[in-house]
Amino acid sequence: MTTVIIITIVAILVIALGTGVWVGLALYSVGIISLALFRSMPVEKLLAQLTWNTSTTPELIALPLFILMAEILFHTKLSENLFNGLSPWAARMPGRLLHVNILGCTMFAAISGSSAATTATVGRITLSELFRRGYNKDIVMGSLAGAGTLGLLIPPSIVLIIYGVLAEASILKLFIAGIVPGLLLAACYMIYLGIRTTITPSLVPAESGIATWKDRFLGLIQLGPVALLIFTVMGSMYGGFASPSEAAAVGVLGALCVSASQKSLTLGNIRLAFLGAVRTTSMIGLIVTGAVFLSVAMGFLGVPRVIATEIAAMELSPMMLILLLLVFYSALGCVLEGMSSIVMTLPITLPLVLAAGFDKIWYGIFLVIVVEMAQITPPVGFNLFVIQGMTGERIGRIAIATLPFFFIMGSLAFIIAVFPDIVMFLPDNIKFKG
């Protein structure tokens, strides 16, 4: 009977997604139809209660605020300031201005929380500038796509907020746990670019002009507003002065101040920012509430228990389980957007990982790194579409250019499985209030 239920659930989901139904509505439809077919219960009451309880979760208040902060900053001159501020510092490094993609995405990720927003904001300036200066197109696009995924890992991360709500894990601890892996991933990207351009010097143009220390210090002034915003948002949380939701509100206020200082705070830009935030928040909210309903429905149908029993019977070692999940999510990322992959599979995979002895906080970071890989895998990698929209290049060419960064992410996911203290050191040792 359970096999019939699983086949039915998969069939309904494939049909719904294949016909272009929104992911959130597809999740709802699978739960409703499955319960109607295999269980006699008041589905409409369960649907209403779970949707209300999930959408009014206090932790989710931070979500629309962080999204609004990123939308406000998207309509400022932040990307131009990042490029001008970082260029003098990156000019003498192996790979030179290619590192602006990595450093710029790392900084913007700390005030964004979205991979697509990070890629789009930084790419608005770096793509045209680096192409104009003669940098190899493929390595420019690949480095931007790879670095853009840092928006999911470096706090404040939208996906970590959603994971924290669904897994009932501390969002603050998840944010703290994402710092070291995020910076380590950025460092790995920069090391790769340095090695690659040293081996193949033709990828970067001949150096023109030398950045002086005056240029570098003037660059720091341009980076000042971004650094101050990062310090304010992150410091208020880690210092115990604000919860994630309160810190997000502080971030929105800071973004408005940055916008006003750059004379970008117009009614038109505010309108665009609010509309963008409403669209993104509505989309994410529908997916999250649909996922919660589906996970509860699957619980009533006994699906997670059966699948967990079958996998346990395989007697996989903890490392083999992690390797299996790495392959599974990488394949799933070819057909589903990363956040959808998490919310659909978490009810099944989380109990398995906890039973194998891994920590809930650690698994959140591992999952986000693996989901980052989905952001640059065709045919649904969001970052690929963002870069295609800005360059007009074929998706296939962009995807091939991002392959080295895909493997770097996969390697880091495996490394933190072997050495979980990379993730857990900060959350285990940093004490904070609230």
Cis before 156? omega within 30: yes
pLDDT score at 421: 92
* Domain span at 70: 2-429
What is the DSSP code string of 252-309? HHHHHHHHHHTT---HHHHHHHHHHHHHHHHHHHHHHHHHHHHHHHHHHHTHHHHHHH
pLDDT score at 81: 81
Is position 434 within any domain?
no
Nearest-angstrom CA–CA distance, 376 and 393 = 15
pLDDT score at 335: 63
Phi/psi at 216 (nearest 5 deg)? Answer: -65, -45
Tokens of 182: 């995020």
256-268 burial string, b = 16+ CB within 10 Å, else e? bbbbeebebbeee
pLDDT score at 434: 46
Is position 424 within any domain?
yes
Is position 196 within any domain?
yes
Is position 43 within any domain?
yes
Nearest-angstrom CA–CA distance, 402 and 386 = 13
What is the per-residue pLDDT across 323-371, written as a single tens digit (0 to 9) for each? Answer: 888 888 877 776 666 777 787 788 888 888 888 889 999 999 999 998 8
Is position 242 within any domain?
yes
Q: Which amino acid is at 296?
A: V
Is position 119 within any domain?
yes
pLDDT score at 411: 92
Nearest-angstrom CA–CA distance, 151 and 167 = 20
Phi/psi at 16 (nearest 5 deg)? Answer: -65, -50
What is the per-residue pLDDT across 98-140, written as a single tens digit (0 to 9) for each? Answer: 999 999 888 888 877 777 778 887 887 888 888 888 899 999 9
Contact 175, 237 (CB under 8 A): yes
Nearest-angstrom CA–CA distance, 343 and 162 = 8
pTM above 0.95, yes or no: no
pLDDT score at 433: 52
Contact 101, 192 (CB under 8 A): no
Is position 366 within any domain?
yes
Q: Which residues are CB-neighbours of 20 under 8 A, at least 6 positions away?
A: none
pLDDT score at 431: 66
Q: Give the gyration radius of the chain's Cα atoms.
A: 22
Is position 137 within any domain?
yes
The overall average pLDDT reported for the chain is 83
Tokens of 174: 């998840």
Which single residue is written with the structure tokens 């057909």? 335
Count of the separate structural domains present in the chain: 1
Q: Kind and range of the H or E element at 313? A: helix 303-313
Spans of the chain below 70 pLDDT:
1-2, 59, 207-210, 304, 308, 334-337, 378-380, 431-434
